[in-house]
Amino acid sequence: MNVLLQADPATLSRLRRELPGSWHDLPLVGAAACEIEDAAELERLTRDHPDLTVFPDEEVSLPPTPVSLRPALNVAAPTVRAGELWSQGFKGKGVAVAVIDTGISRHQDFGNRILAFHDVLGGKSEPYDDHGHGTHVAGIVGGNGSDSNGRHTGIAPECGLVAIKAFNSQGKSRTSDVIRAIQWAVENKDRHNIRVLNLSASGMAQLSHQHDPMARAARAAWDRGITVVVAAGNDGPDPQTIGSPAHSPVVLTVGASNDRGTVRRDDDRVADLSSRGPTPVDGLDKPDVVAPGVGITAADNARSGYVTKNGTSMAAPMVAGLAALLLTARPQATPDQLKHAVVSSAEKLPRGGGVHDQGAGLVDAVQALEKLPAPA
């Protein structure tokens, strides 16, 4: 039985000596992950250590991202007005985005901008992606389109990429693995200048964000200066389908819009698959914003080529890349300032539904930059 144990450091230290088998310290959330034999062992632990809180180390899955036949990243980037920031020289240079996913392949579109690779699952040092989701997400964040003559350029084509593999070849992970990935990003933030973290995955939001371990880890990263961008989930259009840690009130939670293959905004909709609020348990307004997530073409997990997919997994890295652009222009901006700029400048889609469908609306790079304080 895989569990997360939360207690004071002294209790966790005693338990580490007491329990055999694998053990992963999670100081970011004051916990540890381990395996216990059975329910009887669990009962003994809670009886002998009354200050101990036990959470199941639950499975976390990448949402399904159906392959689409209609490529549109060349439409999506103009839809969020990224190109207008490029023309001002803001392309993400000097800013690193951490992508917690299935890994990353050395695709032509990344050049030499893969700054670091950390494999939570297997400990390998050379970048790889045995699923493809992570490479595609990274391509949306920061592919430079060199393998398509610029057609399929990501949002921040000069940003640095830090890939943290926490999901296996089946797109599966555990809560503890995701927390370990977030923890590594926090520990290596200054070394690689990680300013943005993208998580295009979700678990079941069964606990309040105040107690949910992944939400607490995301909050801890935010408090340490990393803007955390999370996919809302692909369980729409039913209400109360926002996942974890997207249900955290702190993180930037992104739903998926459908740009319908045009740069015009007046025909955009919220994608049916995009998870809706309010959040389970807490009843908070989510998502915060939406970004294009239908027919998004980006790097395939080969050294060249592209694949087109749909989902909030594709919408979140649009916003992560946008955050990198904004940080290029305003490097002193805090996560709170970035979130306020992105949310307050979003444009309500006239056919996008209410706040629990589209949040504040479709992101706008140009308007978001205007909301940030000018450099001193």
Q: Can 266 be counted among the known catalytic residues?
A: no
Both tokens of 186, joined, read: 């926090």
Catalytic-role residue among 313, 345, 356, 357: 313
User: Residues 78, 199: one domain?
Assistant: yes
Q: In this structure, are residues 309 and 256 in contact, taking their beta carbons and an 8 Å threshold?
A: no
Mention every residue, 6+ apart, whose C-beta is less than 8 A from residue 179.
26, 28, 29, 31, 33, 213, 214, 217
User: Residues 27, 66: one domain?
Assistant: no
User: Residues 41, 132: one domain?
Assistant: no
Distance from C-alpha of 313 to C-alpha of 61, rounded to nearest angstrom: 11
Per-residue model confidence (pLDDT) at position 29: 97
Catalytic-role residue among 101, 129, 147, 282: 101
| pLDDT tens over the chain, length 376 residues | 899 999 999 999 999 988 878 899 999 999 999 998 888 988 998 999 989 999 999 999 998 777 765 545 567 888 999 999 999 999 999 999 999 999 999 999 999 999 999 999 999 999 999 999 999 999 999 999 999 999 999 999 999 999 999 999 999 999 999 999 999 999 999 999 999 999 999 888 999 999 999 999 999 999 999 999 999 999 999 999 999 999 999 999 999 999 888 888 888 899 999 999 999 999 999 999 999 999 999 999 987 899 999 999 999 999 999 999 999 999 999 999 999 999 999 999 998 999 999 999 999 999 999 999 888 7
The whole-model pTM stands at 0.95
Distance from C-alpha of 258 to C-alpha of 76, rounded to nearest angstrom: 9
In a domain, 183, yes or no: yes
User: Residues 46, 131: one domain?
Assistant: no
Range(s) of the domain holding residue 26: 2-57
Q: Can 101 be counted among the known catalytic residues?
A: yes
Catalytic-role residue among 107, 118, 133, 152: 133
State the total domains in the chain. Answer: 2
In a domain, 260, yes or no: yes
User: Residues 280, 354: one domain?
Assistant: yes
User: Residues 19, 101: one domain?
Assistant: no
